[in-house]
Amino acid sequence: MTTLEGTAPHPAQAGPCATGPALAWEQARSVARHSAAQPLTPVARDLTDALGHALAEPLAALTDLPSFDTSAMDGWAVAGAGPWHLRDSAVLAGHRPEPLSDGTAVPIATGARLPTGATAVLRREHGSVDARNGMLYDHRDLGPVAVGRDIRPRGQECHAGEPLLPSGTTVTPAVLGLAAAAGYDRLQVHRRPTVELLVLGDELLESGLPRDGRVRDALGPLLPSWLHSCGAEVIGRHRVADDLAPLREALRHSSADVVVTTGSTAAGPVDFLHDTLGEVGARLLVDSVAVRPGHPMLLAELPTAADGLPRRLVGLPGNPLAAVAGTVTLAAPLLRRLGGHADAEPHRMRAAAALPGHPRDTRLMPVVRTDDQVAPLPFHGPAMLRGLALADGLAVVPSGGVPAGTTVEVLNIPGQ
Ligand SMILES: Nc1nc2c(c(=O)[nH]1)N[C@H]1C(S)=C(S)[C@@H](COP(=O)(O)OP(=O)(O)OC[C@H]3O[C@@H](n4cnc5c(N)ncnc54)[C@H](O)[C@@H]3O)O[C@H]1N2
Ligand code: MOO
């Protein structure tokens, strides 16, 4: 941990950008996660606005589910043994039915409330009505209809007050559906951390073919939805000129919980990030990580803004795959922690082929899933996205690499 203060040397004379030894990859992820003492404050959100947030309290059922004895099939609600005298008015979903007496039946729809006295539901395809005497017969000839047959009893899925999901659960479409079914109109969720994305690099083009030594900005299009799927609300995305003053002003004026920068992490003549962090009085928490690609990535605590809330900066390297490595290593754990999301269990898979490693550092390698194994993809250089675009995940390859058959951790690609 290093404090950058005072006047830094001009970047052209600056030595290696990182001021201390690179942190081990696992340690860097842990520092990023624990750099937020606690998740952001809980807020109440309508169901439609809660998607992607994390539950700030356990989701408990507000009612029994189903909340009444329900017909599971279209057919007849029957009372006792058949044949049954058939009542003609059907019971539909949403109706309040009259009680049934023993030996009678009434047509009923799937989802309709069962009349009191009904002992079972006879499916439409299992019964027939004799129009002459108005009697319903079970034509399967399998003996009496079992009591409770094709009835979903009240409380079958849960009882009121029963915990359904723990706090920290990410609100997925399925969680929204469950919450609605269980009686919720609003959910207590953690506020999404706001993120401002600053894309550095005067050489970047925003349209057309790469030309005259300039390249297309690949990270502006890639990162916002990834950051969103890590739980962030991306409130701005800007290009910033390769100069200390514009970057300093952008940092001073940002109101985001987390500023994410791309590029300028290394020691090139226009790599102003370290100097700017020094100027604004930021505190470096991670200053390079023993991981390839992406080792110059960094995490800093920015001075507290007028609102008194802590602010952080994740510096992603400019090489696109290195930026992706920085996203999964530093941005994702920090954003998930701020947003209150529970730690995901590490996902492990067997390597279908040898996974080459770096001699000293962890390597993050785009891999494709084949059955229950993962295989490395070509075109995984730090400046390349071709392998990643085909990948199902990023394998965490320990230093030295691993032979085929080894079980390795595989990181999800955000949003997949
Ligand atoms: N002397 C050293 N040089 C470098 C080191 C080092 O440790 N010492 N590290 C190398 C590594 S590893 C990486 S990764 C890069 C990191 O560089 P920066 O974060 O300073 O990024 P830039 O220099 O601005 O750009 C690097 C590369 O990426 C291209 N780029 C930048 N932004 C984008 C974008 N949004 N979309 C597409 N491509 C982008 C940029 O044009 C450069 O080609 O530094 C090495 N050097
Ligand atoms: O981190 Mo760099 O990505 O090795 O090119």
Structural domains of the chain, with CATH: 2-41+192-338 (3.40.980.10), 47-62+158-189 (3.90.105), 70-152 (2.170.190.11), 348-412 (2.40.340.10)
User: Which tens digits make up the pLDDT trace of 15-67?
Assistant: 335 566 899 999 999 999 999 989 999 999 999 999 999 999 999 999 999 99
Residues with CB under 6 A from ligand 2: 292-296, 317, 319, 322, 382
Whether residue 12 is predicted with pLDDT greater than 70 in this model: the reply is no
Order of strands, sheet of 258-262, starting from the edge strand that comes earlier in the sequence: 2-3, 283-287, 298-302, 311-316, 258-262, 194-200, 233-240
| Mean pLDDT within 280-289 | 96
Instruction: Quote the CA–CA distance of 185 and 63 in Å, as a whole number.
Output: 13
218 CA closest ligand 1 atom index: 36
CA-CA distance, 350 to 403, in Å (whole number)? 10
pLDDT per position as a tens digit, 193-238: 999 999 999 999 999 999 999 999 999 999 999 999 999 999 999 9
What pLDDT, on a 0 to 100 scale, did the predictor assign at position 89? 85
Is the pLDDT at 334 greater than 80? The verdict is yes
Distance from C-alpha of 117 to C-alpha of 112, rounded to nearest angstrom: 15
Q: Cα separation of 287 and 300, whole Å?
A: 8
Give the other-Cβ count within 10 Å of 127's Cβ.
22
In tens, the pLDDT along 152-198 reads 999 999 999 999 999 999 999 999 999 999 999 999 999 999 999 99
Residue 109 pLDDT? 94
**Cβ partners under 8 Å of residue 38, min gap 6:** none
- Secondary structure element (H or E) that encloses residue 240, with its range: strand 233-240
Q: Is the CB of 377 under 6 A from ligand 1?
A: no
Tell me, in angstroms, the distance from the centre of ligand 1 to residue 26's CA: 23
The atom number, within ligand 1, closest to the CA of 203 reads: 41
C-alpha 201/C-alpha 214 separation (Å) is 10
Q: What pLDDT was estimated at residue 74?
A: 96
pLDDT, residue 295, reads 95
**pLDDT at residue 323, as a whole number:** 97
Instruction: Please list the helix, strand and coil fractions of the chain in percent, rounded to the nearest 5, in that order.
Output: 20, 30, 50
Residue 235 DSSP code: E
Percent of the chain's residues with pLDDT above 90: 83
Question: Read out DSSP for 151-174?
Answer: EE-TTSSB-TT-EEE-TT-B--HH
Could you tell me if the CB of 261 is within 6 A of ligand 1? no
Give, as one character, the DSSP assignment of residue 330: I
Q: Using CA atoms, how far apart are residues 409 and 374, in angstroms rounded to an integer?
A: 10
Ligand 1 contact via 323 beta carbon (within 6 Å): no
Residue found by looking up tokens 């990270």 in the block: 219
Residues 149-163 pLDDT 10s? 999 999 999 999 999
Q: How many angstroms separate the alpha carbon of residue 387 from the centre of ligand 1?
A: 19
Say if CB 369 and CB 376 are below 8 A apart.
no
Question: Residue 352 has what pLDDT?
Answer: 96
How far, in Å, from the CA of 297 to the mean position of ligand 2? Answer: 9
DSSP states along 353-390: S-B---SSSEEEEEEEEETTEEEE-S--STT--HHHHH
Atom 1 (ligand 2) nearest CA: 294
- Kindly report the protein residue whose alpha carbon is nearest to atom 9 of ligand 1: 266
Does residue 204 line the site of ligand 1, with CB under 6 A? Answer: yes
> pLDDT of 110-152, one tens digit each?
999 999 999 999 999 999 999 999 999 999 888 889 999 999 9
pLDDT, position 413: 87
Please report the pLDDT score of residue 207 as a whole number: 94
Q: Quickly list H helices, 237-390.
A: 244-253, 273-280, 320-326, 332-338, 386-390
User: Does position 4 have pLDDT exceeding 70, yes or no?
Assistant: no
106 DSSP β-pair partners: 77
Rounded percentage of the chain residues whose pLDDT exceeds 70 = 95
